Chains A and B, each alone.
Chain A
């Protein structure tokens, strides 16, 4: 079963545990500056929103890459960057409509979410289940459940 990251901003507290887990898994360092997932704070609105790659099927980054350094992992559905092939041209960072592919100046390659090979550490570290890793065909299940619980025929009678 293919799974995908499911993000529920309402539950996010902005703690950055996910950013640290991501950078630790991928770079061996607690470093939000090197995280593939980012938390955005909208201060005036009082909102925190986690944002990362959603692994497009027809991925702009994959199609744009001139050296075929981005491949789909068939097991996880993740678009993965092959470091040995990537030349750091950054065309994928321009092609991606969402900004989730970024250049890493330390390595001269691009970095993006690869779902940690099927065990995304951001989801594991999230203390509030704002980030979960769920059935790719049913990412809306929890939202449907929440709305279903509010659906009450009796409401019309009142």
Chain B
């Protein structure tokens, strides 16, 4: 068993912390991390609770392979009810704190209630305590990180924190760990701040030792690392170019949403691509990209470490931004760049730094800025709301200004912090919001990659690419090539990706391994580490169970099949250029088949049969 078999329960209201044994019966059904934490969450919270009220809970959860030598085995997830969507939120992050928590001896931390004053959770192995954090409130994530290291006098402690955006109520605030890794989406950071929990600082010195069959585990994990190394995507593309390897590819196939999804191709895509990040700058001869970097235990190392040109207008006379930090991933580069029409790599990198510094999701932020730019150009908002800033597509100045405003929540930053849906509703143009269930789209236009339309519409946490990344099949041919412009077979493809991904997200491994691995590669690693006879079939069944459990929660929270929808722009307005020219998103042609494959009713409700098949709670 590679679970530590215990969890930490932290009641923030009364400050009581206690240890509990992990429910191993649930672990056998829901694996760990995303799945197992969702099972706890569903058991313990009222689905109709206010996401930002004391009745919501916030769970930090590792998987059975977190903290082990399995490649990418360093992940953790944050599970809660999301304030952006009112649906289940589960955000996954890498970096180092997940493995540190496991090494301290904990599978999970469940935070409940609300602290009367700002606090931080300090965990050193078996010992956990709440410390006052009044001095940290009002500080950015980066300053908080620095202050905690000083205060605890421990250079090796790992920290996850929320920034000023979360304190100000930005609905897409993230939990940032290790300075620039993020449990980024759905506002999990907003929930953390609503509980007056500023940070979690963890030091683990016990390690992970309870591997079921250590010899077999070392053998099979080494074998699977070789599979990653030999694969063109995980062995070459991702380490060299990061996820940004996709920028030019997706633009060429006409699926790069541009200017709030009015267009599907961006004229300056090449200026914000991986290739551009590697080009030496004129000013100092250095490229934007300094090096690639790995999260804990990862042999892929897709992370970007970047600098901003010191002479760029965003950082002139601001030396605190001159050093290296987490650089642009594809999703961030798209949202901050193509979707806002900004082709200035340094401005995008600056906005990305600010997103990390004050803890907010660059996807939702960029897409919200894009919506604001369209509102501005349409005359629904004016310089009156924006302190004179002209919010025009393509304006790097506007992008940088918006990032600084959201960071603190001041002025128009409060409006931008509402997210695209509430912003567009507030200014009377709800149709301009490119969201599903209140969450902003990521970087693939469903008119050019049809499976992603169904992916977004049915995602349990609102529009998201990571719930079923059919781009792998439709664009990259993994595991086999399907036609991105066709809806045929996409219902089955989406379901298969959703179930498999839910399983992977519950193991402690990174979903990026699935460019090279299937569940057949993952199962022997889980099985060597854990009791339970873990086969690919058992993992897939658990994945499907997890998906249904999340869906069931959402239905009880008040969502319906009508929420499995796309904005009218994608359903009615055809793609204007590129290979998808003339296409709309064919959601209607896929959704009924998808419901049928899921065993749900025609209006998307779970049946008693499905519930009992997976043993879901009544």
Contact = CB atoms under 8 A, between A and B. Distances in A.
Interface in A36-74: 43-48
B179 A43 contact: yes
B507 to A, nearest CB: 15
A29 B208 contact: yes
B179 A31 contact: no
B205 A15 contact: no
B572 interface: no
Nearest to B322: A44
Contacts of B294: 13-16
Given A28-B214, A33-B103, A44 B293 contact: no
Interface in A1-53: 13-17, 20-21, 23-24, 27-34, 43-48
A79 B323 CA distance: 39
A14 B323 contact: no
Nearest to B206: A31
Contacts of B68: 20, 30
A140 interface: no
Given A23-B207, A28-B209, A30-B207, A45 B293 contact: no
A91 interface: no
Contact of B205 (A34, A45, A127): A34
A17 B296 CA distance: 8
Interface string B206-246: 11110000100010000001000100000000010000000
A8 B296 CA distance: 19
B208 A46 contact: no
Interface string B12-35: 000000000000000000000000
Most chain A CB neighbours (cut-off 10 Å) among B229, B293, B303? B293
B69 interface: yes
A125 interface: yes
B295 interface: yes
A15 B69 contact: no
Contacts of A34: 205, 207
Interface in B63-108: 67-69, 71, 96, 99, 103
A15 B296 CA distance: 5
Contacts of A44: 323-324
A23 B209 CA distance: 10
A43 B103 contact: no
A46 B303 CA distance: 11
Nearest to A127: B299
B574 interface: no
Given A33-B204, A43-B324, A127-B225, A13 B301 contact: yes
A27 B28 CA distance: 29
A77 B157 CA distance: 35
B298 A15 contact: yes
Nearest to A20: B69
B209 A17 contact: no
Contact of A30 (B208, B305, B323): B208
A137 to B, nearest CB: 30
B438 interface: no
A15 B297 contact: yes
Nearest to A106: B205
Given A13-B301, A43-B325, A48 B209 contact: no
A21 B225 CA distance: 14
B438 to A, nearest CB: 35
Contact of A21 (B69, B214, B292): B69
Give the interface size class of chain B: 35 or more
Contacts of B207: 23, 27, 29-34
B115 to A, nearest CB: 29
Contacts of B307: 46
Contact of A48 (B206, B293, B295): B293
A45 to B, nearest CB: 6
A21 B207 CA distance: 12
Contacts of B69: 17, 20-21, 24, 30, 125
A33 B102 CA distance: 13
A30 B209 contact: yes
B290 interface: yes
B71 to A, nearest CB: 8
Interface string A117-154: 00000000101100000000000000000000000000
Most chain B CB neighbours (cut-off 10 Å) among A15, A28, A33, A47? A15
Interface string B285-321: 0000011111111110101011100000000000000
A45 B299 contact: no
A17 B297 contact: yes
A29 B179 CA distance: 27
A128 B291 CA distance: 13
A38 to B, nearest CB: 10
A99 to B, nearest CB: 13
Contact of A15 (B156, B208, B290, B295): B295
A45 B286 CA distance: 13
A128 B206 CA distance: 27
A52 B377 CA distance: 59
A27 to B, nearest CB: 7
A45 B325 CA distance: 9
B206 A46 contact: no
Given A30-B67, A31-B208, A46 B305 contact: yes
Given A20-B69, A43-B324, A44-B324, A29 B209 contact: yes
A37 B303 CA distance: 23
Contacts of A14: 293-294
Contacts of B324: 43-46
Contacts of A45: 323-324
Contacts of B229: 127
B513 to A, nearest CB: 13
Contacts of B96: 16
A16 B299 CA distance: 9
Contacts of A125: 69
Interface string B378-419: 000000000000000000000000000000000000000000
Contacts of A29: 206-209
Interface string B317-354: 00000011100000000000000000000000000000
In the complex, the 7 A-B pairs of residues with the closest C-beta atoms, listed nearest first: A31-B207, A44-B323, A46-B324, A15-B294, A46-B290, A13-B301, A127-B299
Given A30-B69, A44-B324, A45-B324, 7 more contacts: A13-B293, A13-B298, A16-B297, A20-B297, A33-B103, A33-B204, A127-B225
15 contacts: A13-B291, A13-B294, A15-B298, A16-B294, A17-B69, A17-B71, A20-B68, A21-B69, A31-B209, A32-B99, A33-B156, A43-B179, A46-B324, A48-B291, A128-B301
